[in-house]
């Protein structure tokens, strides 16, 4: 399992290991299962060239359309309006950023934490579900507003279920990318100087999810990832 730990991967990119308790992970899965079955729930999106993404997706708060790379209030595929972001999710994101600020201030001696990692109140959460063969190629998150991107407002990413081999780097080249394992309960934040980092999911480690999580939720084999952003 491993304990709580904070790792700075690069300026503005911080990994909070084991940040989310098992109880909260169970609640997040149950909330996503419920929302995922309703209007605006999980679907398999495609890119503009017609290729299907190797994951299932649902958006909360706003819609992000992978076909056009644009944000909207409804999703073009079926006109559904995304469900709102639940209050508990907002609280988790806020705590992750606050705890990171406290770490930067107290452990790193960084006086101006807002310049390293600006605060962010999300208005969209993209929920991805990867099965064991799921992947996501290296890309930058660049479809948010110029205001959000220019200010380096962070992306906050929560991992639940099976672990992922996550890649990140300055180029869109897998061979030059750094690797980090994201486990169930980890939170990754990238903002400030790292807001434009290339990142992606290389593979999913099968059977690596916590047993209790699977028992309590009946989560299918795979990985749930929630990324919060401000459009």
Q: Residue 194, interface with ligand AKG (CB under 6 A)?
A: no
Residue closer to ligand AKG (CB basis): 25 or 113: 25
Residue closer to ligand AKG (CB basis): 153 or 182: 182
| Residue 34: partners with Cβ closer than 8 Å, 6 or more residues away | none
As a whole number of angstroms, the distance between CA 124 and CA 44 comes to 18
Q: Residue 163, interface with ligand AKG (CB under 6 A)?
A: no
8 Å CB contact between 117 and 193: no
- Which DSSP string do the residues of 186-205 spell out, in sequence order? -EEEE-GGGTT-EEEEEEEE
Pattern of binders to ligand AKG over 106-135, x per CB under 6 A? --------------------x-x-------
In angstroms, give the least distance from the CB of 166 to ligand AKG. 6
Sites for ligand AKG among residues 4-43 (CB under 6 A): none
8 Å CB contact between 74 and 81: yes
Q: Which of 189, 199, 210, 213 binds ligand AKG (CB under 6 A)?
A: 199
In angstroms, give the least distance from the CB of 88 to ligand AKG. 20
Residue count of the chain = 231
Q: Residue 136, interface with ligand AKG (CB under 6 A)?
A: yes
**Among candidate residues 137, 164, 174, 168, the one with its CA nearest the CA of residue 155:** 168
Question: Radius of gyration over alpha carbons of the chain, in Å?
Answer: 17
Q: With CB under 6 A, what is the number of residues at the site for ligand AKG? A: 12
Residue closer to ligand AKG (CB basis): 27 or 186: 186
Neighbour count for residue 212 (Cβ, 10 Å): 12
Interface residues with ligand AKG (CB under 6 A)?
A: 126, 128, 136, 141, 157, 164, 166, 182, 199, 201, 225, 227
């Amino acid at each position: 399992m491993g304990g709580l730990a904070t790792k700075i991967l690069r300026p503005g990119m911080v990994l909070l290991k084991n940040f989310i308790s098992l109880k909260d992970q169970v609640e997040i899965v149950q909330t996503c299962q419920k929302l995922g079955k309703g209007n605006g729930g999980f679907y398999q999106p495609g890119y503009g060239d017609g290729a299907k993404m190797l994951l299932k997706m649902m958006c909360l708060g706003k819609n992000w359309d992978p076909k056009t790379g644009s944000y909207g209030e409804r999703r073009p595929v079926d006109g559904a309006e995304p469900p709102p972001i639940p209050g508990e999710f907002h609280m988790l994101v806020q705590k992750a950023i606050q705890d990171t600020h406290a770490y930067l201030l107290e452990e790193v001696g960084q006086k101006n934490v807002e310049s390293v990692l600006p605060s962010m109140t999300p208005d969209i959460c993209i929920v991805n579900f990867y099965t064991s063969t799921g992947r996501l190629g290296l890309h930058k998150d660049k479809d948010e507003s110029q205001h959000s991107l220019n200010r380096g407002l962070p992306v906050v990413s929560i991992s639940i279920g099976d672990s992922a081999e996550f890649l990140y780097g300055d180029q869109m080249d897998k061979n030059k990318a750094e690797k980090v394992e994201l486990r169930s309960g980890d939170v990754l934040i990238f903002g400030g100087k790292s807001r434009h980092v290339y990142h992606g999911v290389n593979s999913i480690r099968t059977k690596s999810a916590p047993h209790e999580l699977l028992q309590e939720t009946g989560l299918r084999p795979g990985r749930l990832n929630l990324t919060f952003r401000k459009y």
